Structure 1
Amino acid sequence: MTVTSVACAPWRIAWAERENERRQRAYRDATDAWRRRDDHLGRLRIEAASFLGCTQPRSGLPVELDDDELVFRVLPVATLVEAEARHVPGLPTPGGFGSLAETSSEVLPAGLRAVDTGMAVVTSRRVAFGGREHRREWRYADLIGPAHHPDVPVTLLPDGGRLSGLLVPAGAVVNFRFYLTLAAADDRAAVIALVDALLAAHQAARPAPVLLAQPDDAPLTAVRPDRRALGAAAVAAVVFVTLGPGALGPGALGSGAWGSHGPVASAEIVTMEVPRAGAVLVPIGPAAPVAPRSRIGSAESAVWSPAVRRPTPPAVSTVVPPVVAVALPSAAAPTVAPAPPTSPVPTPDP
Structure 2
Amino acid sequence: MAIPASAQPAWRIRWAERENDRRRCAYDAQVAAWQRHQDHLARLRIEAAGFLGCTQPRAGLPVDLDADEVVYRVLPVADLVEADARHGTGLPAPGLTVATDDAAGRALPRGVRALDTGMAVVTNHRVAFSSGRGWRHEWRYADLVGPAHHPEVPFTLLHATDGRRLAGLRVPAAATVNFRFYLTLAFAAAIGERAAVTAQLEALLAAHRHARPVPPLPVHPDQAPSTGLRAERRAALAAAVVAVAFVALTAAGPASPEGADPPYRADESARGASAAATPNPVEGAAPTARGEPAARNPGAATSEAGALAAATRGGVTRVRAPEVVRIGDAVAPAAPLLRWLACPQGDSGASAPPRPG
The normalised TM-score by structure 2 is 0.65
- 1:60 deviates by 0.6
Task: Decide which of 225, 229, 243 is 1:223's aligned counterpart.
Answer: 229
Pair 219,305 (structure 1): closer, same or farther in 2 beyond 3 Å: closer
Pair 266,54 (structure 1): closer, same or farther in 2 beyond 3 Å: same
Aligned to 2:171: 168
Pair 74,299 (structure 1): closer, same or farther in 2 beyond 3 Å: closer
- 1:325 deviates by 5.7
Distance in 1 between residues matched to 2:155 and 2:226, nearest whole Å: 49
Distance in 1 between residues matched to 2:37 and 2:104, nearest whole Å: 15
Pair 222,132 (structure 1): closer, same or farther in 2 beyond 3 Å: farther
Pair 158,221 (structure 1): closer, same or farther in 2 beyond 3 Å: farther
- 1:69 deviates by 0.9
Aligned to 2:14: 14
- 1:264 deviates by 10
Verify: 1:49 aligned to 2:36, yes or no: no
Verify: 1:214 aligned to 2:220, yes or no: yes
- 1:223 deviates by 2.0
Distance in 2 between residues matched to 1:131 and 1:325, nearest whole Å: 111
Correspondences of 1:137-286 after superposition (within 5 Å): 137-159=138-160, 160-185=163-188, 186-223=192-229, 225=233, 228=237, 232=241, 236=245, 248=249, 252-253=250-251, 257=253
Distance in 2 between residues matched to 1:231 and 1:68, nearest whole Å: 70
Q: Which digits, 9 at most, give the CA deviation of each residue in 1:324-344, with x for residues without a partner?
A: 46279xxxxxxxxxxxxxxxx
Q: Which digits, 9 at most, give the CA deviation of each residue in 1:100-137, with x for residues without a partner?
A: 22223233233322221111110011111112332211
Pair 33,69 (structure 1): closer, same or farther in 2 beyond 3 Å: same
- 1:263 deviates by 10
Q: Is contact 2:295-2:328 (8 Å) kept?
A: no
For structure 2, the 5+ residue unaligned runs are: 266-285, 301-322, 331-357
Correspondences of 1:82-93 after superposition (within 5 Å): 82-93=82-93
CA RMSD of aligned residues (A): 4.2
Q: Is contact 1:98-1:148 (8 Å) kept?
A: no
Number of residues of Structure 1 aligned to a counterpart in Structure 2: 275
Q: Which digits, 9 at most, give the CA deviation of each residue in 1:16-53, with x for residues without a partner?
A: 22221221111111111111111111111211121111
Distance in 1 between residues matched to 2:141 and 2:5, nearest whole Å: 69
Distance in 2 between residues matched to 1:231 and 1:77, nearest whole Å: 49
Aligned to 1:339: none
The normalised TM-score by structure 1 is 0.66
Aligned to 1:326: 328
Pair 322,105 (structure 1): closer, same or farther in 2 beyond 3 Å: farther
Pair 34,322 (structure 1): closer, same or farther in 2 beyond 3 Å: same
Aligned to 2:283: none
Distance in 2 between residues matched to 1:141 and 1:156, nearest whole Å: 16
Question: As a proportion of its length, which structure holds more helix?
Answer: 2
Distance in 2 between residues matched to 1:149 and 1:230, nearest whole Å: 43
Distance in 2 between residues matched to 1:110 and 1:4, nearest whole Å: 64
Distance in 1 between residues matched to 2:177 and 2:26, nearest whole Å: 25
Letter in 1 for 2:153: V
**Displaced runs of 4+ in structure 1, greater than 6 A?**
261-268, 298-301, 303-306
Distance in 2 between residues matched to 1:96 and 1:14, nearest whole Å: 54
Q: Is contact 1:99-1:198 (8 Å) kept?
A: no
Identity of aligned residues (%): 54
